[in-house]
Every structure is written in structure tokens, then in C-alpha cells.
Amino acid sequence: MSISVTWHGHATFSLNINGTHIVVDPFFAGNNPAAKTAVDAVDADFILQTHGHGDHIADTVALAKRTGATVIANFEICNWIAAKGHEKVHAMNTGGGYNFPFGRVKMTAALHSSGLPDGSYGGDPGGYLLMADGKTVYIAGDTALFSDMSLIGRAGIDLAILPVGDNFTMGPEDSVLALDYLKPQMVVPCHYNTWPPIAIDVNAWAESVKQETAVTPIILQVDETYTL
């Protein structure tokens, strides 16, 4: 019984929960300049979609169609994916939770935007609390710092996946403040160094986390896996 988390670069992750493969925000090699893995090489039973931006959804339809995975997303994104010919979707909305076979998923708020690549309305952006196997993982999605993260933290987070790259999302300083609200055991950074506007010194960020919080930072290399 375990949860493993693999970072594919930018905001794309694969989670393996006792053999169920969950891909977060599919954006793979060919589209994602930070990725090494091609979308054709990835297993997926479920896809967790935080919002509609291209750097999160570019490979969602291709991955869903090849694998037959169920796409979990907000209502508007689910309709958009169904209209592209993949009807295996599970629509949710902010604040709602649902018990899937692998565990419970709750959609959290995010302070961002969510337009789809073709200009379609993508609903509200979100994040996810994933509760499985006695562990809680928080995937913040693209977001600014907001004080209601303290409510999300009441779930008792083992591992938080936070954007830290600045410009489009929280930067290094705000993501350290976010840890005060979320109080996870561990934090994995993402959404940094993919392009020049989000280039940061991630080791300096990790040093700030160690000095200013009780949280353990875990910096993953591309395609590296951490097992909870």
C-alpha cells in the first residue's frame, strides 16, 4: 500500500495509488519543454485536470483517448473534452468531493484563470485534495497565495504540490507563506524553470522553506519519483 508521485516537469505529475495511475495536468514532451517523457509512454486510469490552460491540458485528450482514462475536471472542461470525442469524464466543482475507487477527491479553490486553448470558457480554476491510503496529498494547481489555504490545511496534508515559479502563480516568497497556512509535512515545488519568466533558484527556495517553516521540501528531478 503506497502512493508514489512522479514529476514530469512543469505541473505534470503521475501518481500511482496502489496500482491506479492518476495523471495530473498532462503536458508532455513535444509540448512541454521541461518534459522527457512522451504522452504515448504514460499509463492513466484517471486524469486530474486543475484548469484549462494549454500548459496543463495540451495532452489531455490524446492521453484520455488512448488509455480510456476518466477525466476529472470542472463541469465546463468536462463538456469541452466530451465535445472532442472523449465522453468518459467526471465533472466536479469547487468545494465538492467524491469517493472514487482509489480514494476521495475534493476540488479546492485556486486564485487564477481557466480559459481553454481555443478560447472556450473553462470555468473556474481549481486544485485538489486527494485522500487515499490514509494519506492526504494537496495539488494546488496554478494559484496565488490566499488565506483560505488555512481551511484546506485542516485536512491534515502529508504532501503539498505547490507552484513556486512566480509571474503566473505564487512565487518563492508567497509559496513559503502558503506553507504557514497549509501546514503540510512535505512540499514538492512545480511550475518553475519551464520558461525564462518562471525561472527561479529552487535550491534557495528550499533553503527558505527549511529556515522559515517546519515543512520538508522535496525537489524532484524530471521523471523522479517520491513514494509516501
Tell how far CA 129 is from the center of its chain. Answer: 10
| Least separation in angstroms between CB 70 and Ni ion | 22
| Least separation in angstroms between CB 50 and Ni ion | 8
Give the number of residues in contact with Mn ion, rule: CB under 5 A.
3
Binding of residue 55 to Mn ion (CB under 5 A): yes
Please, which residue, 28 or 100, has the CB nearer to Ni ion? 28
Please, which residue, 53 or 135, has the CB nearer to Mn ion? 53
Task: For residue 213, give Cα distances in angstroms to 6, 115, 156.
Answer: 24, 34, 16
Binding of residue 10 to Ni ion (CB under 5 A): no
Helical axes 60-67 vs 75-83, angle rounded to 10°: 70
Please, which residue, 10 or 53, has the CB nearer to Ni ion? 53
- A 10 A CB-CB count for 22 gives 29
Place of cell 498532462: 26
Which of 142, 149, 189, 209 forms a contact with Ni ion (CB under 5 A)? Answer: 142
**DSSP β-ladder status, 89-92 and 70-74:** parallel
**DSSP β-ladder status, 3-7 and 225-227:** antiparallel
| Least separation in angstroms between CB 119 and Mn ion | 17
How many whole angstroms separate alpha carbon 119 and alpha carbon 160?
Answer: 30
Residues 205-224 that bind Mn ion (CB under 5 A): none
| Least separation in angstroms between CB 27 and Mn ion | 9
How many whole angstroms separate alpha carbon 12 and alpha carbon 29?
Answer: 11
Place of cell 487564477: 112
Residues 127-146 that bind Mn ion (CB under 5 A): 142
Binding site partner of 25, from Ni ion, Mn ion, none, Cβ cut-off 5-8 A by kind: none
Binding of residue 53 to Ni ion (CB under 5 A): yes
In a 13 Å sphere around the CA of 109, the CA atoms on its Cβ side amount to 11
Binding of residue 191 to Ni ion (CB under 5 A): no
- Judged by the rule CB under 5 A, the positions of this chain that interact with Mn ion are 53, 55, 142
Residues that bind Ni ion (CB under 5 A): 53, 142
